[in-house]
Amino acid sequence: MAENSRAETELERRRREERRPVEEAGGGESEGFELAEAELIEHASHGDEHSTRPIFRDAGLEEELTDAAVPYEVGISKHHELARGQILGETHGLLKLLVHPETRQLLGVHAFGSGATELVHVGQTVMALGGTVDYLVGAVFNYPTLAESYKVAALDATNKLRALSLTIGPRPAA
C-alpha cells in the first residue's frame, strides 16, 4: 500500500511540473487540452485502478489527417461539464470530434474516460454513413448520459467553424 501512495505522490508531482509551463503562459485551451490528452493516454495505457482495460478509444486518427493534409476542426466536450459526468465524479473524461471545415463531415472521434468503449461507436456509425456534425447537433441524446457529449462537442465544433468563416469570409466559387 505504501508503494501505491508513493507512486501516486510521484505522479501528482510530475503532473504539477507538466502543468506549470501552461499555467505560466496563461493556460491556453489547446495547450491545456494537449496536456490532458497526454495524461489520459498515459493513464489509459495502465488502465484504471478498478480494472486493466484501457479508457481510450478512437476512430479516425489525427496523424493520418495531418499526413494527408486534410483540414479539420476540433470540437470537444469534457465529461465533468455534463450532468452524467458530475454524477459519476468523472474528472478527466472527454469526447473529441474531428470535423472537415468545408463539408462538415465527421472525420474522427476520440473518447477518453468512463464509457469510452460505449461512446465511440456512435461516432463510428456517423462516420461510416458519411454523416456530418450537423446530424449530431440535431440528434436527440438521452439526459443525463455521457452520450450527450456528442451534442456538446458538435456544438463546440460548429461554433468554431462559424467563427472561422467570419474570420476568413466565404470561399470564392470554383
What is the total count of domains within the chain? 2
Burial of 64 (0-12, 13-18, 19+ CB in 10 A): exposed
% of the chain exceeding 70 in pLDDT:
61
Whether residues 131 and 173 share a domain: the answer is yes
98 and 33, same domain (yes or no)? no
Same domain, 72 and 139: yes
Are 97 and 141 in a shared domain? yes
Last residue of a domain, one of 9, 35, 53: 53
Residues 6+ apart with CB under 8 A from 157: 73, 74, 75, 97, 99, 133
In angstroms, the CA 155 to CA 47 distance is 30
> What would the pLDDT profile of 57-80 be if each residue is shown by its tens digit?
555 577 788 888 889 999 999 999
Mean pLDDT throughout 1-14?
60
48 versus 9: the higher-pLDDT residue is 9
| Residue 141 identity | F
Q: In this structure, are 143 and 131 located in the same domain?
A: yes
Residues 61 and 14 in one domain: no
Predicted TM-score (pTM) above 0.75: no
Asked whether residue 47 falls in the same domain as residue 59, the answer is no
Least confident of 54-58, 66-70, 143-147: 54-58
pLDDT score of 25 more than 80: no
| 30 or 98, higher pLDDT | 98
What residues make up the domain containing 22? Answer: 1-53
Same domain, 33 and 67: no
Integer-rounded Cα Rg, in Å, for the chain is: 18
